[in-house]
Amino acid sequence: MAEKIKVMTFNLRVAVKGDGVNYFDYRLPRILEFLNTEKPDVVGFQEVNDHMKEALNEHLTDYVIVGCGREASYRGESACLAYRKDRFQLITLENFWLSATPTSPGSRYGIDQSPCPRVTTAALLKHREASAPFWFVNTHLDHEGGTARLLGSMQIMQFVSSKKEPCIITGDFNAGPDSRAIKLLIENTRFPMIDCTANIEATFHDYKETPRAKIDYIFTNMPCDVNESVLYPDVPVDGVYLSDHRPVGAFVEIE
């Protein structure tokens, strides 16, 4: 039985007190109001540190949040994901680092990557009304190295193409639509993916009214009408934004 689910990717901007009125704790009430209004079925978060994850776990009681930090200690920023506990069953969970040694916590590519390790969280989920499971994969590629981003995209594609189940990929790819990292995902013929965000404009605004770049994406190899995808507005209230990224939503049909 097919089900259409609401998918979201949302970079929450790591808690930095230097952000002033846009420090995470001050943005949290707006973030929670937004999520409780939109009620995504699954959402991929980026830049979630331990303090932020505790807050999300405390308040998002309708969701299960999974994913570990990117450092060798399993702490620090994560690319965690959340799913509605009343609609999905978790079958398998995998965390892997974007590196030549993906099972080594804190590992990274040794080329042009920044000092930051990059971790990906992948959950095999089954909707309670659907007949088959799917992989929900959430990531955050490097912000400095183009080669590191390309290798990260390649590693994620190798992961999903090695599975028998279909997939949804969300993330902050730190790359524009014409970059090699993105073209690798949407121009391959052996494992073709739909860019659900094909009609979406700039997503990163850096707490400014004029968005700067499109770097947040949702991909899938399941049916998706790209015209239904949404770039959510982020109008500040008394100077407080949701994040420095606008949330992105899409509707994917699962079997």
Residue 209: its pLDDT value, please?
Answer: 85
Residue 171: its pLDDT value, please?
Answer: 98
Domains and CATH numbers, the chain: 3-254 (3.60.10.10)
Residue 1: its pLDDT value, please?
Answer: 67
| Strand pairing class (248-254; 3-11) | antiparallel
Per-residue DSSP letters for 165-214? S-EEEEEE-S--TTSHHHHHHHS-SSS--EETTTT----B-TTSSS--B-
Q: In angstroms, rounded to a whole number, what is the distance separating the alpha carbons of residues 63 and 168?
A: 18
Q: In angstroms, rounded to a whole number, what is the distance separating the alpha carbons of residues 85 and 62?
A: 6
Residue 181 neighbours by CB under 8 Å, 6+ apart: 141, 146, 149, 150, 152, 153, 173, 175
Residue 173 neighbours by CB under 8 Å, 6+ apart: 139, 141, 149, 153, 179, 181, 182, 215, 216, 217
Residue 200: its pLDDT value, please?
Answer: 97
**The token pair that represents 148 in the structure block:** 């590191």
Taking only the tens of pLDDT, the chain with its 255 residues reads 689 999 999 999 999 999 999 999 999 999 999 999 999 999 999 999 999 999 999 999 999 999 999 999 999 999 999 999 999 999 999 999 999 999 999 999 988 999 999 999 999 999 999 999 999 999 999 999 999 999 999 999 999 999 999 999 999 999 999 999 999 999 989 999 999 999 999 999 999 988 899 999 999 999 999 999 999 999 999 999 999 999 999 999 999
Indicate the burial class of 116 (C-beta count within 10 angstroms; 0-12, 13-18, 19 or more): middle
Residue 210: its pLDDT value, please?
Answer: 87
Nearest to 5 by CA among 254, 241, 193, 239: 254
Q: In angstroms, rounded to a whole number, what is the distance separating the alpha carbons of residues 26 and 242?
A: 10
Residue 78 CB neighbour total at 10 angstroms = 27
With the C-alpha atoms ordered 195, 8, 246, 175, is the resulting torsion angle positive or negative? negative
The torsion angles phi and psi of 214, rounded to 5 degrees, stand at: -95, 115
Give Cα separations from 154 to 107, 149, 188, 220 (angstroms): 16, 9, 11, 15
